[in-house]
Structure 1
Amino acid sequence: MGTMSSKKLTPKDKDHRPEIKARGHRYWTSKRDGEVQLRQEDAFASQPPVTVHDMVMNTAIRYANYIALGSKHRNGWHLLTYIEYYEECRRAAKAFLKLGLQRFHSVGIMGLNSEEWVIASIGAIMAGGFSVGILSTNSPKTCQGIAESSEMDIIVVDNDRQLQKIIQIQGYLKHLKAIVQYKEEIRTQLHNLYSWRGFLDLADGVSEDTLDQVIDSQKPNQCCALVYSMSLTGTPKAMMLSHDNITWTTEITAQSLSYKSPPEKQEVLVSYLPLSYLAAQLFDMWLSISVAGALYFAQPDALRGSLIDTLREVKPTIFYGVPWVWDRLLDTLKSSQLASTPLRRRVDKWAMWLGLRANRRRMLEQAHPPLCFSVAKKLTFNLARRFLGLHRCRHYFNLGAGLPGATLEYFLSLNMPIRELYGLAESTGIHTLSSQEDFRLLSCGKSLPGTRTRTQKENEEGTGDIHIWGRNVFMGYLNDEEKTQEKIDVYGWMRTEDLGFLDNDEFLYVLGNEKDIITLSSGEKINPNPIEERVKRCIPIVHYVVLVGQDAPYLCALLTLKCQVNMDTGEPRNALTSEAVAFCRQLKSQSTRLSDIVYDRDPVVMDFISQGIDAANAQVTSDSAKIVKWTILETDFSMVGGELGPTTKLRRANVAKIYQPEIESFYEEDEY
């Protein structure tokens, strides 16, 4: 690698940083070159703001020779140290400038997680542009909307399949100057298409001083990244994140979780969830840089089965997953337990009983574990963690929708407390967090230091609209002043549109979203989420529950059962999961497939589900909240089927459209 100038090796004098002033509006802006007032009133929030470049450079200076990135090639792992990582980001920044990246224009990145992905993202920011992650599953039309609204000068793709999407739309993109392809050999010849190596070679045509001038012009309260909402119709909204949104949120999160830094200890992470998803980007890219962690990229087929192999090889110290990843790990563990000897199963059952009891007491009383806990650890807990490749892990997180209580309890019984967090793209991916000290099952934890959370318009049960405040709150929606004003008030509070409550100890519990509320024909409003969770607890073989009944006289429910997933396509199979099969055996049912239950009307299982619905109905406070009719769908939900979003969040509008005949059949005999 080339040597760095003395200018680059010295952190910038803070007096040299341009003064931060808000132009036009206090806490928000919708202009791409706008600046915002930072929320620094709190002691925790008063840390001096820094740009993304300064955060990356400071880590490169302090931890120059520690491993930053690891990518697996056929002949082993290709490793980059922090000083090499920083140099590659500078080369990418200079190459973007050479290609004509304009200030406050964007670079789109669409492809699987890789060192090129993160280097392109940081390079785009260093060059004065916006980093924009684009989901690999987006259609050409969606890509076009994103490229046009963000004024995209350059698009970086990983392979020919993604390249073809851009070729289809490039005639409509007036700002597009170049395309860079970083994986596979280039099969299509275009005058403005570059390989990754050819792209980086362009850096030689731009001086270090030219780049430094661009870096020096950047302010922490200016935009550096855009995150696009997963809109079902029309162009997705563009959320503007400032340098400070990223650097401050990263720093305060690392502090809250007591992450270690070298030489005391180096955190190790595995990157496998799409980096276009902001929470994954925050944990993978930004948090690892903040604490000089080592980030290893999983194989392209990670979510089709190779993830556990990578975990066993890399041995991460931090691991996070979305609900369906935790479901898959749970099923893998349960399959292993079912295949073990009767003695082994008895030992595991005892150890897990002890683990759940001890961890529950620790949560509430901070009590020390019993003496035999270390025996359970050696006999069961350590073996389960090693089996998953998580034996060095100190932190487990769930991103996206909340996990069912049964899943949380299962992992807690194995001494693997999965911590929930709450965040939106508009809060830089995180706002509340469960830590080792502050942990409650089903809670999203407490607000990050220096941020605030409140609820308004509480109902009789204490559930209200969640509002948040802090330096993690985004700048605004690009080019949409009206929606930004609706979102952020004059005091800087942001309306999340989520519903929940804070308990006496300030733990946040999220219970749904305003858009989920069902209004019956009587005018009564029902929040479906708590009822759906209750049904899942009463019927363990049920995977998803969707309440319906908008403008109808009563509630009905669509149920799916836990089914295996085709690793290659992501489609649900007819075969039930091993957990569901084991449960059927407990009921003395021989069903192993969904069709055995749906088409053959397995009387044992159907009767159990009916009793479960009755049990759930018995716990509601109003007759209107009871489920009158229900049906089991012929397939489980999936991202491929359209019922789930990229983080497995339920897409209720899609479900209502896809299963409209089933919903209509609930009410067709009624006149209302």
Structure 2
Amino acid sequence: MDADSGQKQATETSTVIVENGEEIVKVNTMHVPNGINQAFLNGPDQIIPADDYISCVPGGHVKLRLGSRGLAAEPPISVPGLLNRTAARYPNDVALATKKSDGKWHKITYKQYQERVRTVAKAFLKLGLERYHSVGILGFNSEQWYLADLGAIHAGGYAAGIYTTNSAEACFHCLETSRANICAVQDKKQLEKILAIRSRLKHLKAIIQWEDPVDTSIPGLYSWDQLMEIGNKEPDTQLNNILKTISVNECCTLVYTSGTVGPPKAVMLSHDNLTWDAYSIGERVGDLQPTIDRLVTFLPLSHVAAQVADIYTTLHYAVPVYFAQPDALKGSLVETLKEVRPTRFFAVPRVWEKMYEKIIAVGSSSGSVKRYIAMWAKDKGTKHHTARINGALSAGMIGLPLDFTISEMIKYWMDGTTCGYKLAKSLVFNKVRESLGLDQCLLFMSAAAPLSPEIKKFFLSLDIPIMDAFGMSELAGAHTISIYPKFKLDSAGEILDGTETKFDGSESVNGPGEVLMRGRHLFMGYLFDEEKTRQTIDQDGWLHSGDVGRVDSNNLLYITGRIKELLITAGGENVAPVLIEQTVQSELLHVSYAVLIGDRRKFLAILLTLKGKINQTTGDALDELDTETAKWVASLGSKATTISEIVKNKDPYVYKAIEAGIARANKKAISNAQKIQKFAILPADFSMNTGELGPTLKIKRNVVYEKYKDIIEDFYKE
């Protein structure tokens, strides 16, 4: 059912956006409001008519993919409407909690949360935030991050999170393409990036710094206290008038994501995208207890997964949020977890891997008796959860003779699927959970990148079943989430109710084929980029994921391959390999091919080949260095004339030069996660005859990965 039924008046349209007399961008068949349409002042929860599911311009509106029943038929609600509703239902309950320098948790209620959001919104308007322009947010998770995010949306602008690891140039791209009027930064370190590019940001009017003393000599720079003071002095009139113009089917948030080539794209997410996906997630998770459940936020809020889980799902279900310390991923997270004892824990694979490494380290230092008990307990845990997953869990005293002896009773408790598990839980599992601060946790989740089935199996044996979630920025976060015991170790999760999935190019409705997805969580479009939007969303409204997968009879999705060359690190960072490979090759002209490694890995590494001579008859790559490469090697001080000599002896002259070239390339990386940490020179150049190159000399990555898997695994050995 379309959302435009009963709404006859169309919005005014234009094919050009003009600002201050300057033509910004031409748009084909896109609807652009020419000012505020006075016929639609029933916001923020109104639906303004639209005739397309796609819009790529500021102020555009889209049709909603409303269903006739079930979750897809849930009445739409805006972000301000959601905050209003939750604050009305739970005005005096804890919304956000921050541990400050006095060592105490400082908490604010939902009523205070709402009041502060409105204060920030009024201050943003006073400082010059224009309709459909953005507020860039650059800092670690905090109360101020949340307030800036929701404040920008309430004021009719866009919230645009920026990764704290971004370089100044990467920040410039996000701020300029989103037409940022305001940028909120955490501290002096982040401020320096903005000051370095400020003169080129033609839309920027003010900078807000929420930590560290503010340099009063910098024009247009305000402290957080000054921001709140400005907002408190403003009447509510302008803000209330802006809220009346907001609709659920317009953009409220920009999430920047990188493709396989080109600069990051701004994913336009509507109010309905975010609030509906949050609602759908909560319904799948089930049994969320408002004001009682607890969540610790520490994953980057510039990532869509953290936004929809930590900001919007918690807001939808009134779950208190506790902010971790900025050094959470450097070691302090566990201490925060021990204090808060969250009931739901959401992490990326790298966090689970670090916990795994810590448990392994503790176990290896234990005595033989403790190790034996741990091994026994893990066996009981694995059998117990496997039985639950398979629906074959035994219970009670089945199998125990009526005239049992004490020794038979002990054996039963030690070996029985149910009772052995209970004993193991008491002796081992509860202690492990307590050591991690997860003793009250009811749901363990992993998302943003695939988590190794082996690590999931390890945690399952310790009574910590980790559920998978799969999604994209273009889907406002999640498209699948598994709930125990309906999951499999190698599955990406169960498809959310109210969404659709099919497989392109498959003869079967279950796949395998490219995973196509559709639903109310499907984004509006890429800002100012209709061409790429329509390449991503086909004419029938299906999002092409670039992933190959299948679905089983339990509605569990399995990702079996990737059409795109996009890498996703263990920390959930999207990395476009081609750009980095090209940068390395531009710094090292005698490198023939570069293949970036890092999918599901802790860090990036790279495989390199040196340019060798080619057999002109067969096309085979020879061991002898080509003429120019040989000259370069000699200029370094090396006497090597073949590739094999360099690799066998790890020629210090050549390896040092390669290291220097990679260091130069790393300086151009947009974030620390996109820097190369290790490299290897391969023993031979690529060729078609040896299988690494296709007919157009394009690298066959899967062939390279398989052929050099031993070298790749050596990168990641501790």
- Fold shared per TM-score above 0.5: yes
Q: CA shift at 1:436, angstroms?
A: 2.4
The percentage of aligned residue pairs carrying the same residue is: 36
Q: Are the counterparts in 1 of residues 257 and 264 from structure 2 also a CA contact under 8 Å?
A: yes
Corresponding residue for 2:381? 355
Please name the residue that 2:585 is paired with. Answer: none
Counterpart position of 1:480:
529
Q: 1:366 to 1:663 in 2, by over 3 A?
A: farther
Over 3 Å counting, the alpha-carbon distance change for 1:372 and 1:428 in structure 2 is same
Matched residue of 2:560: which SS? strand
Distance, in Å, in 2 between the alignment partners of 1:101 and 1:415 is 50
1:534-553 superposed matches below 5 A: none
Residue number in structure 2 paired with 1:59: 86
Counterpart of 1:185 in structure 2 is 213
2:444 aligned to 396, 414, 417, which one? 396
For 1:93 and 1:401, how far apart are their aligned partners in 2?
Answer: 34
Tell me the alpha carbon deviations over residues 387-436 of structure 1, each in whole angstroms, 9 at most, x when there is no partner. Answer: 11100001111112211111010000011110111100000011011012
Tell whether the 8 Å contact from 1:42 to 1:450 is kept in structure 2 after alignment.
no
Identify if the C-alpha distance between structure 1 residues 436 and 217 changes in structure 2 by more than 3 Å, giving closer, same or farther.
Answer: same
Task: Map 1:190-339 onto structure 2 (within 5 A).
Answer: 190-230=218-258, 234-262=262-290, 266-339=292-365
Q: Tell me, in whole angstroms, the C-alpha distance in 1 between the residues paired with 2:48 and 2:251.
A: 14
What is the aligned partner in structure 1 of residue 66 from structure 2? 40
Is 1:159 matched up with 2:204?
A: no
| CA–CA distance in structure 2, aligned partners of residues 645 and 17 of structure 1 | 36
1:426 aligned partner: 474
| TM-score of the pair, normalised by structure 2 | 0.71
Task: Count residues with an aligned counterpart.
Answer: 552
Deviations 1:282-327 (A, max 9, x none): 1111111111111111111111111111111110111121111111
Helix, strand or coil at the partner of 1:423: strand
Partners of 2:254 and 2:595 in 1: CA distance: 37
The one-letter code matched in structure 1 to 2:382 is L
Q: 2:166, 2:672 within 8 Å by CA — same for their partners in 1?
A: no
In structure 1, the gaps of 5 or more residues are 1-13, 518-527, 534-545, 547-555, 573-632
Secondary structure in 2 matching 1:422: strand
Q: Where does residue 90 of structure 1 map in the other structure? A: 118
For residues 235 and 448 of structure 1, the distance between their equivalents in structure 2, rounded to whole angstroms, comes to: 31
Counterpart of 1:176 (choices 204, 211, 220) is 204
Q: What RMSD, in angstroms, separates the aligned Cα atoms of the two structures?
A: 3.6
Inter-partner Cα distance in structure 2 for 1:312 and 1:663: 49
Tell me the SS of whatever aligns to 1:367. Answer: coil
CA spacing shift, 1:366–1:124, aligned 2, 3 Å: farther
User: Retained in 2: the 8 A contact 1:320–1:397?
Assistant: yes
Distance 2:670 2:196 in 1: 25
* 3-state SS of 2:108 partner: strand
**What are the residue-to-residue correspondences of 1:329-478 with 2, within 5 Å?**
329-365=355-391, 367-368=393-394, 370-458=418-506, 462-478=511-527
Counterpart in 1 of 2:76?
49
Q: C-alpha separation between the residues in 2 aligned to 1:64 and 1:366?
A: 45
**C-alpha contact (below 8 Å) 1:320/1:398 kept by paired residues:** yes
Of 648, 673, 681, which aligns to 1:661? 681
Preserved CA contact (<8 Å) 1:299 1:306: yes
Aligned to 2:155: 127
- Note if contact 1:98-1:205 (Cα within 8 Å) is conserved in structure 2: no
Q: Distance in 1 between matches of 2:597 and 2:214?
A: 46
- Equivalent residue of 1:273, what SS? coil
The separation in 1 between residues aligned to 2:435 and 2:50, in whole angstroms, is 55
**SS of residue in 2 equivalent to 1:343:** helix
* Distance in 2 of aligned mates of 1:18 and 1:285: 19
C-alpha separation between the residues in 2 aligned to 1:169 and 1:362? 56
Aligned 8 A contact 2:604 2:678 in 1: no
Contact preservation (8 Å) 1:160, 1:187? no
CA 643–513 in structure 1, closer or farther in 2 if over 3 Å, else same? farther
Shift of 1:663: 7.3
Instruction: Tell me if structure 2 keeps the 8 A contact 1:68–1:293.
Output: yes
Distance 1:571 1:665, change over 3 A: closer
1:20 to 39, 47, 65: 47
Distance 1:214 1:559 in 2: 48
- Specify whether residues 417 and 235 from structure 1 end up closer, same or farther in structure 2 by C-alpha distance, changes over 3 A only: same
Return the alpha-carbon distance in structure 2 between the equivalents of residues 286 and 313 of structure 1.
Answer: 23
Does the Cα contact within 8 Å between 2:46 and 2:248 map onto a contact in 1?
A: no
After superposition, the Cα gap between the structure-2 partners of 1:155 and 1:366, relative to the gap in structure 1 and judged at 3 Å, is farther
| Contact 2:43–2:246 under 8 Å retained in 1 | no
Q: Which amino acid in structure 1 is aligned with residue 545 of structure 2?
A: T
CA contact (8 A) 2:169 2:670 kept: no
SS of 2:63 mapped into structure 1 = coil
Map Cα deviations across residues 523-578 of structure 1 (whole Å, 9 max, x no partner).
xxxxx99xx99xxxxxxxxxxxx9xxxxxxxxx99999x99x9xxxx999xxxxxx
Residue 481 to residue 49, structure 1, CA distance change in 2 (3 Å): same
Structure 2: runs of 5 or more not aligned: 1-40, 395-416, 571-576, 578-593, 606-657, 694-718
Distance 2:97 2:315 in 1: 14
Q: Aligned equivalents of 2:470 and 2:670: distance in 1?
A: 17
Distance 1:48 1:668 in 2: 57
Q: Using the TM superposition, name which of 455-464 and 375-384 deviates more.
A: 455-464
Match of 1:537?
A: none
Counterpart position of 1:29: 55
Task: Output the amino acid matched with 1:31.
Answer: V
Residue 504 of structure 1 and its aligned partner are, at CA, apart by 2.2
Asked if structure 1 preserves the Cα contact closer than 8 Å seen for 2:518 and 2:542, the reply is yes
Q: Is the 8 A contact 1:259 1:291 kept in 2?
A: no
Structure 1: distance between partners of 2:683 and 2:63 = 49
Whose Rg is larger? 2
- Does the C-alpha gap of structure 1 residues 647 and 417 become closer, same or farther in structure 2, counting only changes over 3 Å? farther
Aligned equivalents of 1:344, 1:660: Cα separation in 2: 41
Separation in 2 of the partners of 1:558 and 1:220?
41
Quick one: distance in 2 between partners of 1:670 and 1:234? 30
From the superposition, tell whether residues 123 and 209 of structure 1 become closer, same or farther in structure 2 (CA, over 3 Å): same
Aligned 8 A contact 2:150 2:159 in 1: yes
Answer whether contact 1:91 1:203 (CA < 8 A) is retained: yes
Deviates more, 1:431-440 or 1:91-100: 431-440
SS of 1:515's partner is coil
Change (3 A) 1:279 1:644: farther
Q: In structure 2, the residue corresponding to 1:346 is in which secondary structure?
A: helix
Q: In the aligned structure 2, how far is the partner of 1:361 from the partner of 1:182?
A: 51
Contact 1:272 1:297 in 2 (8 A): yes
Question: 2: CA distance between counterparts of 1:304 and 1:506?
Answer: 37
Match of 1:536 in 2: none
d(CA) in 1 for partners of 2:108, 2:486: 36
SS of 1:486's partner is helix
